[in-house]
Structure 1
């Protein structure tokens, strides 16, 4: 059976790089983003690969998530990468936190991944029943690590990723009996719209590292927080 990846936020950055990488390795890829038709690089890939399908999906629209899951109900999914993310405001200080923006970031970074997991667990179970070990992979961030926080600030993004990590840890326990692994991934500081031009690595390097981590993931790593180089990160 040809393995299938479903990925969110596939229109640019790390999501686009992962989409292309898995296509190159012969996977079926279901690429989701809010406006696929307005993503020229994704459309180029769609014209090049018959194994790529695209779906418009706003991850904060829970009805749309449910509809997509229903639409794909007969599709075994071997890997689901929750990549869609929102950084929120930059440059603010303590005392200047925009609580409305904070709620928006939590909706995308913390709540949506769990809603997606709830609706797509049956699809990963189908893959498990065919002898595979399916994975829920969540793009987290090292800035969500409490033990690594030495600089303060970043209340909105940090808290959303720390909360996501708590969600992932619980999922890794709750879904273990279904044969599904759940993992938090730090992609590195990447040259993207979010990471900025001064970041340390490009999207291809991050994607290749993340794929290697996922390809070699073991049962003992279920529920861990791992970077793109395979190194464990403290919570």
Structure 2
């Protein structure tokens, strides 16, 4: 018997898996639960259970003391209780809900204080204390920010661990902080990018077996392949095989390498152990050009992953267009799995993907994905399924629309431009004429020059000029001007209706536009309300 192990928070996930494994490894295990799951009820439970232990309440101190009243010494104490409550927009401090942050602080940090208050006197020489924390609580290893409440609670737990190492270290107690990795449990929404509970527990057991005084107050990853350096490396193969690329990670269970070559592998071996066994076999038995094979393998896996990422992005964009709520990057929590490459950066903040994200519907967007908090997108706005464009693309599209409108206005102005009046008519000796200034209009409609924009060649501006000159005071209403034009140029006008719904002839609409916009004419406001506008030369 290795001694007594107490796991606080053993009802599910990593805590339950670790308590079961400790029991198999010849520890006498006591697990505490706030509510006891069915598999831990009755005599068939794999370990002793102390129920109704809610570390968020001060009453848990007495409950723990009563549950372990007959124990004098704890060989291993694991504080695993914790909660995470993701919120919309918690990457911005303005959106932090203090009551939610306080709940996480109360359980994740103060819960550990209450546990030590209850059981601290049962720790002595040779005892080991593991506080299950998260790398998101690390100050030095915070590369993305956000998740204020959860990060603060884990940072507080980390500080508590350091303080406990100073307090209990002189008594021969080893206190460490252990990060389990991003584990696929109910707390992380069973994320597909996480590791299994068994794999995390494998790492925990190796850490527990190898803990020594040099680990006092240390922040450790449960998985031995993890490092606290910002640029992580994965040591897959034994030291004598350092010529292999350390960035290669492969699941040799999935490819059944060990089964094919009948390697001696125990059922509970971790991924690292399995990779080392495969590496030794590969080096000693397979006569192949290793460098070439490995380089091809690395290139294939890199390209394959990039292709899968692109397909995933396209699928999520399409889902959001259909009205589904768009998420990217999994849960609100920062990814805890290690990566051998620098993560791709997104959003206006130029940070990796985390939490709720929204995709820009502009196909040419260079960034594509944005944290909803950074671009002030609310849940209501996101759930509508309407198209959404990022600030840069909105500005670009606004510039494009402005350019199109300017081009349209320029085209319209060009269409309204008229030829000089001197090109109005072709003089005819056989007909009488009316002349005004530089303008001359023959009385014979058949002699109108084929230049200009009206049917037959004469411009509407010239027709209006002719009409005004024939009216009293060279002024007239729109109706009077049209009557004069129709009387004189009926055969030269475009009588086609504007549309099926609007039966006004095209020529009248053109005359109205020119009267209003042409710099040759001006509009005079009526003297009394209700009277028609009068037009004259400018």
Aligned pairs for 1:141-156 (under 5 A) are 141-156=134-149
Contact 1:142–1:233 (CA<8 Å) still a contact in 2?
no
Q: Paired residue for 2:217, among 214, 223, 231?
A: 223
Distance across 2 between alignment mates of 1:229 and 1:107:
27
Per-residue CA deviation, residues 13-46 of structure 1 (Å, 9 max, x unaligned), is 101100110111121111111111xx123338x5
Could you tell me which residue of structure 2 aligns to residue 91 of structure 1? Answer: 88
Q: Could you list the per-position Cα deviations for residues 95-136 of structure 1 after superposition, in whole angstroms to 9, with x for gaps in the alignment?
A: 2111011111100001110221122111122xx3xxxx1111
How is 1:23-62 mapped onto 2 (pairs within 5 angstroms)?
Answer: 23-36=23-36, 39-43=37-41, 47-49=44-46, 51-62=47-58
SS of corresponding position for 1:194? helix
Once residues 35 and 106 of structure 1 are traced to their aligned partners in structure 2, the CA distance between those partners, rounded to angstroms, is 20
Q: For 1:103-142, what aligned pairs fall within 5 Å after superposition?
A: 103-125=102-124, 128=125, 133-142=126-135
User: Which aligned pairs between 1:121-200 and structure 2 lie closer than 5 A?
Assistant: 121-125=120-124, 128=125, 133-196=126-189, 197-200=191-194
Aligned to 2:310: none
CA offsets 1:59-106 (integer angstroms, 9 cap, x no match): 112222233224423312111111010112333231211101111110
Q: Which residue of 1 aligns with 2:228?
A: 233
Q: Which residue of structure 1 lines up, in the alignment, with residue 65 of structure 2? A: 69
Residue 3 (structure 1) aligned with residue 27 (structure 2): no
**C-alpha contact (below 8 Å) 2:53/2:60 kept by paired residues:** yes
TM-score (norm. length: structure 2): 0.40
Task: Tell me the distance in 2 between the aligned counterparts of 1:123 and 1:55.
Answer: 20
- The 1:226/1:10 distance shift into structure 2, 3 A limit, reads same
Residues 71 and 191 of structure 1: is their aligned pair in 2 closer, same or farther, counting only changes over 3 Å? closer
- Which residues of structure 1 form unaligned runs of 5+? none
Per-residue deviation, 1:219: 0.2
Residue 205 (structure 2) pairs with residue 211 (structure 1): yes
Secondary structure of the structure 2 residue equivalent to 1:212: helix
The 3-state SS of whatever aligns with 1:148 is coil
Structure 2 alignment gaps of length 5 or more: 231-538
In 1, Cα distance between equivalents of 2:67 and 2:35: 18
Supply the distance in 2 between the matched residues of 1:177 and 1:234 (Cα, whole angstroms).
29
> SS of 1:74's equivalent?
coil
Task: Give the TM-score normalised by the residue count of structure 1.
Answer: 0.89
Q: Distance in 2 between matches of 1:66 and 1:233?
A: 37
CA contact (8 A) 2:33 2:49 kept: no
Matched residue, 2:272: none
Instruction: Report the Cα distance in structure 1 between the residues aligned to 2:77 and 2:192, rounded to whole angstroms.
Output: 29
Worse-superposed segment, 151-160 or 193-202: 193-202
Q: SS of 1:56's equivalent?
A: coil
For 1:16 and 1:91, the matched residues in 2 are separated by 30
Distance across 1 between alignment mates of 2:103 and 2:45: 35
Q: In structure 2, what is the Cα distance between the partners aligned to 1:12 and 1:27?
A: 19
1:72–1:220 Cα change, 3 Å: same
Contact 1:145/1:234 (CA < 8 Å) preserved in 2? no
2:44 partner SS: helix
The answer to whether the 8 Å contact 1:16/1:42 transfers is no
**CA distance in 2 between partners of 1:160 and 1:139 (Å):** 12
Question: What corresponds to 2:327 in structure 1?
Answer: none
CA contact (8 A) 1:17 1:203 kept: yes
Q: How far apart, in 1, do the equivalents of 2:166 and 2:227 lie?
A: 18
CA RMSD, aligned part only? 1.9
Listed as ranges, the matches of 1:6-25 within 5 Å are 6-25=6-25
Answer yes or no: is the 8 Å Cα contact 1:140–1:161 preserved in 2. Answer: yes
Instruction: Report the Cα distance in structure 2 between the residues aligned to 1:190 and 1:167, rounded to whole angstroms.
Output: 23
